[in-house]
Structure 1
Amino acid sequence: MAEFLQAVDDRKILHVDLDAFYAQVEMRDNPALKKVPLIIGRDPDLHHGHGVVATANYIARKAGVHSAMGSSEAKRLCPNAVFVAPDFDKYRSVSAQIHEVFAEFTDKVEPVALDEAYLDVSQSPMAGATLAAELRHRIWQETKLTCSVGVSYNKVLAKLGSEHHKPNGVTVIGADVALDFVAALPIKDFRGVGKKSQEKFEKLGIKTGADLRALSQDELRVHFGSFGDQLYWQARATHFGQVKDHRIRQSVGKEGTFEFPLHDRSAVLATFKDLATKVVANMEAKHLVGRTLNIKVRDDDFNTLTRSITQANPFQLNPDFLARKAQSIFDDLYPDDFAIRLLGLTFSNVSPQAFQSLSLFDYD
């Protein structure tokens, strides 16, 4: 009996990884930074030696600088580096643009971070390599940023592919070459293998994917516990996980009806404030943000009007701010006298608050 069952997997999965994303955005916005080693993080000389590297451009990386490294260590390795404090609001805005491009190709998108995502493009009749090329072209058109893309039939191989040819590359790993590709990989490149795991592998004499594949599942479990199962299947170019679509197909809102019609703008504003307070509490409880704010108005003649505002970045979840926005829309609808029976305030185009807080890089 065969050691493992290699099931037919005809999916097309892309893993898209923006190249040194934060650094690339800063170099795009300030071309002078392209020619110097650039570190996104606090300059340790200005912050009493404190700080963590969020990312670095490829010039700084050649000196050994990498993300999550202490800023002082990074400066020691690369004393002539330029430090730029991160602007996460800007990065989130650019990331939103990129995710709009993803939506042109598929509705099955799994964000991993601001700068990377998995896309299941199995429904497209186009070849994976063609889709990757078009996607990279569209991202460049919209943002003037480059990305690396891995194309394969499962998520692990797609991720390994995007890391294989960076920056600004595409790697296609088809079923006909997958086992050979994995066999040649250095053990440090396998997903989940960190410093401690590498030390264990070194003691075991395991250097490549081919060496890893020679170990049985039971042997891997003895040395690595449940992680051994993941390693076993990775060595066999097999992964069962699906691309998880994290889009939220819902809206969050509140309405209020009135026994006696409202005729006063201050009463309208107070109502919007009350509705916004409830909506914000609901959004925060569900860890959601929204990019479209809608208001609904029904007058004394039972005419119902809806209007909305959409913006690139999520709205502030601040009741006073939202009430003023809603009031502004209302005033445009009813510049003169009015008699209002119902008011509603709703967020649509909502998404998880994922990646809104990046505590590892907590900057003052």
Structure 2
Amino acid sequence: MDAFYASVEQHDNPALKGKAIAVGGEHRGVVAAASYEARKFGVRSAMPSKTAKEKCPHLIFVSPRFQRYKEISRKIREIFYEYTDLVEPLSLDEAYLDVTENKKNIESANQIAREIRQKIFEQTGLTASAGISINKFLAKVASDINKPNGQKTIHPDKVESFLEDLPVEKFYGVGKVTANKMFSLGIYKGKDLKKRSIEDLTRMFGKSGAYYYNVVRGIHTSEVKPHRIQKSVAVERTFFEDLFDEQQINEKLQSLSEELHNRLQKNNILGRTLTLKIKYKDFSLFTRSITREEYFSSAEQYFNTGKQLWELRPFDKPVRLLGLSLSQLNTEEKKLVSVQLKIPFREFEDQ
């Protein structure tokens, strides 16, 4: 979806259309999503609201309405399932679809993407973009090329030339820090990356080296997994005023522990690793975890363990955010049978 949260707010409130808006808290929060009008000024998701306002003084902040976003996300997912059961949601606004064998027997993957985008617009009033290719990596990269409201196909015959000419910062999985490191090594495009041996890349980038070695050659074997396994459950709070008092911290930890327990209990989830997250006034971050042999099972256990982790903090500084998360959950992954992509690609101009 294109700027999903912000687009929903503009759709539901026509007065916001064409304006620079950010979904999130104006005073103490971060930007959850920015409209394309705001992005022109450099406003991005995960940016502190204060910074966003400095970049775009006329920015309008809108409080998030996650129930509304979930409602629309369900409608969009229902459209996906009209075409295939192999849908792997990444978030409320993004998913991979394997349409090798689709329910409508449409030979062209391009046409499927067009139909899905049209249906989304008709049923929600929102626009979506799509990337079509032979694997998840290439489809993901392609999906960003003609945003907003467009699609891009990387034909099997064009994969090699496309990747060789692609700037490394556009590779999915290459963040800002890694991109800068690649620049310092003279790696600017896929063709530069392709010249490096797997041994060199592993030495320079660790385990990710093998990933870069493969994807620049169009090799990415990850399947579309329709049942993504939840790996963690988290709750966190950003405070309107910084916390420093120990009693206040304990009260917030107690509240977070109860909220975490309720969410886990509702979904019959247990876990063995509890992590405390602290963000300080200066935006520095501290996390610590404790793993038990037995599953955590009560709000009291989360609270008591959270307090133990709090005592391990290295700084006594004002706190702007606290969070608790549980991982190593009692969920089991269901493996799927991989199917080689056989859909014929039809040549046409991408929009």
Under TM normalisation by the shorter chain, which class is it?
0.5 to 0.7
**Which amino acid in structure 2 is aligned with residue 109 of structure 1?**
V
Residue of structure 1 in register with 2:18 after alignment: 35
- The alpha carbon displacement at 1:43 in A equals 1.2
Q: Is 1:61 paired with 2:42?
A: no
- The alpha carbon displacement at 1:67 in A equals 0.5
TM-score, normalised to structure 1, is 0.62
Residue of structure 2 in register with 1:91 after alignment: 69
**CA distance in structure 1 between the partners assigned to 2:203 and 2:2 by the alignment:** 37
Match of 1:108 among 63, 69, 86: 86
Match of 2:172 among 191, 194, 211: 191
Distance change in 2, residues 1:281/1:153 (3 Å): closer
> Greater CA radius of gyration, 1 or 2?
1
Asked if the contact 2:163/2:217 (under 8 Å) is kept, the reply is yes
Deviations 1:140-161 (A, max 9, x none): 1111110000001100000001
**CA distance in structure 2 between the partners assigned to 1:152 and 1:283 by the alignment:** 38
Deviations 1:274-305 (A, max 9, x none): xxxxxx98752248xxxxxxxxxxxxxxxxxx
Q: Which runs of 5+ in 2 are unaligned?
A: 230-262, 271-330, 332-351
Is the partner of 1:176 in helix, strand or coil? helix
Structure 1 runs (4+) deviating above 2 angstroms are 280-284
Deviations 1:34-66 (A, max 9, x none): 12111111112xxxxx21000101110010011
**Which amino acid in structure 1 is aligned with residue 58 of structure 2?**
N
Q: Is 1:222 paired with 2:203?
A: yes
**CA distance in structure 2 between the partners assigned to 1:285 and 1:150 by the alignment:** 36
Q: Is 1:237 paired with 2:224?
A: no
Asked if the contact 2:89/2:228 (under 8 Å) is kept, the reply is no
Residue of structure 2 in register with 1:24 after alignment: 7
Q: Is 1:78 paired with 2:56?
A: yes
**CA distance in structure 2 between the partners assigned to 1:145 and 1:187 by the alignment:** 31
Residue of structure 1 in register with 2:108 after alignment: 127
**CA distance in structure 2 between the partners assigned to 1:187 and 1:120 by the alignment:** 26
**Which amino acid in structure 1 is aligned with residue 121 of structure 2?**
W
**Which amino acid in structure 1 is aligned with residue 190 of structure 2?**
G
Percent identity of the aligned residues?
Answer: 45
**CA distance in structure 2 between the partners assigned to 1:104 and 1:117 by the alignment:** 14
Deviations 1:229-251 (A, max 9, x none): 11111111110000001189xxx
**Which amino acid in structure 1 is aligned with residue 14 of structure 2?**
P
**CA distance in structure 1 between the partners assigned to 2:93 and 2:18 by the alignment:** 22
Match of 1:177 among 139, 158, 164: 158
Residue of structure 2 in register with 1:13 after alignment: none
Deviations 1:183-238 (A, max 9, x none): 11111111111122122111101111111111111110000011011111111111
**Which amino acid in structure 1 is aligned with residue 173 of structure 2?**
G
- The alpha carbon displacement at 1:69 in A equals 0.5
TM-score, normalised to structure 2, is 0.65
Asked if the contact 2:142/2:151 (under 8 Å) is kept, the reply is yes
Note the aligned Cα RMSD (angstroms).
Answer: 1.8
Distance change in 2, residues 1:30/1:281 (3 Å): closer
**CA distance in structure 2 between the partners assigned to 1:51 and 1:283 by the alignment:** 28
Q: Is 1:154 paired with 2:132?
A: no
Distance change in 2, residues 1:282/1:85 (3 Å): closer
User: How many matched pairs?
Assistant: 235
- The alpha carbon displacement at 1:182 in A equals 1.1
**CA distance in structure 2 between the partners assigned to 1:53 and 1:152 by the alignment:** 31
Q: Which runs of 5+ in 1 are unaligned?
A: 1-17, 45-49, 249-279, 288-351, 353-364
Within a 5 Å distance, the mapping from 1:254-273 to structure 2 comes to: none
Residue of structure 2 in register with 1:260 after alignment: none
Is the partner of 1:80 in helix, strand or coil? coil
- The alpha carbon displacement at 1:172 in A equals 0.5
Distance change in 2, residues 1:282/1:173 (3 Å): same
Q: Is 1:165 paired with 2:111?
A: no
Asked if the contact 2:22/2:59 (under 8 Å) is kept, the reply is yes
**CA distance in structure 1 between the partners assigned to 2:127 and 2:22 by the alignment:** 18
Is the partner of 1:117 in helix, strand or coil? strand
Residue of structure 2 in register with 1:136 after alignment: 117
Is the partner of 1:146 in helix, strand or coil? coil
